[in-house]
Each structure stands twice: as structure tokens, then as C-alpha cells.
């Protein structure tokens, strides 16, 4: 399949993505022939009502899920062709995830939670912890290094999760409703933190949200409706 040459340089490039699940005798289609590309360094919101397919889109971009048909290019490489091991490596090295439910490992303290991606990359524990500490300091949690997730507030947990997503210095930060479980003020802080990271380090930011106010603060907003891209608009500069 051909695509414009300039798009091959984009960090994300989706071509004709369809995702459907068998539901009883029929096929339930969640994404229907979606194509889009995101250049490096962009901040982009994916909005839509629940059930519109926006989370599935994010999971496919994060290669947690496989499309039924279509191709996913990350950093120019076709992810539908690589092995499960290679997909794990890409998740580790190109992508940082921030989930709505934080998804911290409850039995590890903040420091070890953040160090985990580096350990899978083959770093020694000492170095991984050093880098994790640096990252936790960057998100303002230098006082909470040895707290378990249960001893942290929601906002603090999400900061730990963001530190974990960033510790591997990923090209791409994927956030699925990162403020969904947080109160208004904390949500503001988290969005500001994500945007500042995008601004300072040029990390491509993809954020799934149903909050229009958050979406308005991004450079670009993609609206998904019934499994299709209904609107793709850039914020006025």
C-alpha cells in the first residue's frame, strides 16, 4: 500500500483500520476503515461519546490490540508484520501509557513501579531506580518515592503513572481518559503536566477524553463517531 511520502515520517500512521468483534451471529464493528497520521511532537485529543470506538483506536495505536484489517505504522515500521516479542519491545521503547485507572502494581512502591519499564529493557536495578527517582522528582513526587499506590492520592497515583510512562523517554505518550478518576483541580494539574511535557520535550501526546475543555487545549482534535473519524480539526493558532 502506498501513502504520501511525508506521512511515512510521521510517528503514527494508520491505514484502513477496521476492528470488529463477533457478537452472537453478527459482527459488531467498532472501528470502520479509519486512516489517520500524527506527526512527531503533536498534541492531539481523541474525543467521542462512550462506545464510539475512541479507546479501541488508542489501544490499536498502542499495539495492545490488533486491528481486524488495516495497517499500523509506528515510527515507520509496520506493526502488523512483527512478532509478539517485537511488539513488546515497541511498547517499551516507543510508547508510554497512561491509563484512566492508573494501573500501578499495588505491591510495588512508587519508585519500583516507575522503574519497571527500564527493568524490562535490561537496565540494572540500581540504574533503573536512579532514573525512576529523577522522573518522580520531575512530576513533583520526590517526597513519595517509597509509598505504595494505596498510600497515595488519586492525583499522586496518576503522577506516578505519568512518571512510569515517561521513564523510558518514549516518542509517543498515549493517555486513555487520564483525568477520568480525578477531581477538577487535580485534572487541571495533570493536563497541564502532560502539555508541559509535550512542549518541553517534544513528546507526541495522544489523549482520549470526553471532556471538551481538555480537548480544546490540544493542537488537534479528532472526533470519532460510530467507528469513523467524524471531524479532524486543528486549533486556531
Partner 1 sequence: MRLDSSGVTVLRELHENYGPSWTYLFIEPLENLRLLGRRAVLALLGIAVGCMAVVALLNIGHNARVQAMSVFKGMGSDLLVCSIQPPQGNYTNPPPAVTILNATLLHQTLPNIVSAAPIISMNMDVRLKAHTLNISVVGTNAELARVLDLDLSMGRFVSRYDAHSTYAVLGAKVQSEWRSAGISANVGDWVQIGDYLFEIIGVLKSKGSTPLVPVSPNEAIFLPVESMQRIVPNPQISAVVARHPDSRTLDSGALHLQQWLSTQFPGFDVNVQIPHQLIDGMAQQSRMFSWLLSGLGGISLLVGGIGVMNVMVMNISERRREIGVRMALGARPKDIARLFLLEAVVLATAGAFAGATLGLTASWIFVHYSGWQSFTLSAISLPLGIGSAIVTGLFFGLSPAINASRMSPIKALRDE
CB 213 within 8 A of CB 181: no
48 makes contact with partner 1 (CB under 8 A): no
99 makes contact with partner 1 (CB under 8 A): yes
Give 49-75 as a DSSP string.
-TTSSHHHHHHHHTTSS--SEEEEEET
As measured in angstroms, the least distance from the Cβ of 212 to partner 1 is: 26
* Count of residues interacting with partner 1 (CB under 8 A): 41
User: For the chain, how many residues are written?
Assistant: 237
Q: Which range touches partner 1 (CB under 8 A), out of 112-120, 133-141, 187-195, 210-218? A: 112-120
Identify the residue whose cell numbers are 512483527.
82
CA 24 to chain centre: 31
Print the binding letters for residues 128-167 with partner 1: x by CB under 8 A, - otherwise: ------------------------------------x---
Question: What does each C-alpha distance from 109 to 63, 106, 133, 183 come to in angstroms?
Answer: 27, 8, 12, 24
Give 118-157 as a DSSP string.
HHHTT--HHHHHHHHHHHHHHTT-TT-TT--GGGS-HHHH
As measured in angstroms, the least distance from the Cβ of 163 to partner 1 is: 12
Site for partner 1 in 172-201 (CB under 8 A): none
Identify the residue whose cell numbers are 502532560.
194
Considering beta carbons, is residue 169 or 232 the nearer one to partner 1?
Answer: 169
125 makes contact with partner 1 (CB under 8 A): yes
Residues at the interface with partner 1 (CB under 8 A):
9, 11, 40, 59, 62, 64-65, 75-77, 84-86, 88-94, 97, 99, 103-105, 107, 116-117, 119-125, 164, 168-171, 202
Amino acid at each position: 500500500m502506498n501513502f504520501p511520502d511525508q506521512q511515512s515520517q510521521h510517528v503514527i500512521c494508520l491505514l484502513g483500520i477496521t476492528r470488529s468483534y463477533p457478537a452472537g451471529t453478527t459482527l459488531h464493528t467498532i472501528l470502520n476503515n479509519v486512516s489517520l497520521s500524527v506527526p512527531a511532537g503533536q498534541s492531539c485529543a481523541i474525543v467521542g461519546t462512550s462506545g464510539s470506538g475512541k479507546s479501541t483506536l488508542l489501544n490499536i495505536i498502542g499495539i495492545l490490540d490488533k486491528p481486524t484489517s488495516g495497517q499500523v505504522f509506528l515510527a515507520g515500521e509496520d506493526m502488523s508484520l512483527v512478532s509478539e516479542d517485537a511488539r513488546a519491545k515497541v511498547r517499551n521503547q516507543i510508547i508510554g501509557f497512561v491509563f484512566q485507572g492508573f494501573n500501578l502494581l499495588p505491591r510495588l512502591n512508587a519508585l519500583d513501579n516507575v522503574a519497571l519499564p527500564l527493568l524490562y529493557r535490561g537496565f540494572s536495578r540500581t540504574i533503573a531506580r536512579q532514573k525512576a527517582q529523577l522522573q518522580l522528582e520531575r512530576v513533583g513526587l520526590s517526597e513519595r518515592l517509597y509509598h505504595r499506590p494505596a498510600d497515595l492520592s488519586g492525583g499522586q497515583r496518576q503522577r506516578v503513572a505519568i512518571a512510569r510512562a515517561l521513564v523510558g523517554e518514549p516518542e509517543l505518550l498515549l493517555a486513555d481518559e487520564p483525568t477520568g478518576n480525578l477531581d477538577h483541580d487535580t485534572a487541571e494539574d495533570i493536563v497541564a503536566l502532560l502539555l508541559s511535557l509535550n512542549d518541553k520535550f517534544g513528546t507526541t501526546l495522544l489523549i482520549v477524553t470526553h471532556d471538551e475543555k481538555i480537548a480544546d487545549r490540544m493542537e488537534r482534535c479528532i472526533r470519532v463517531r460510530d467507528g469513523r473519524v467524524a471531524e479532524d480539526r486543528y486549533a486556531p493558532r
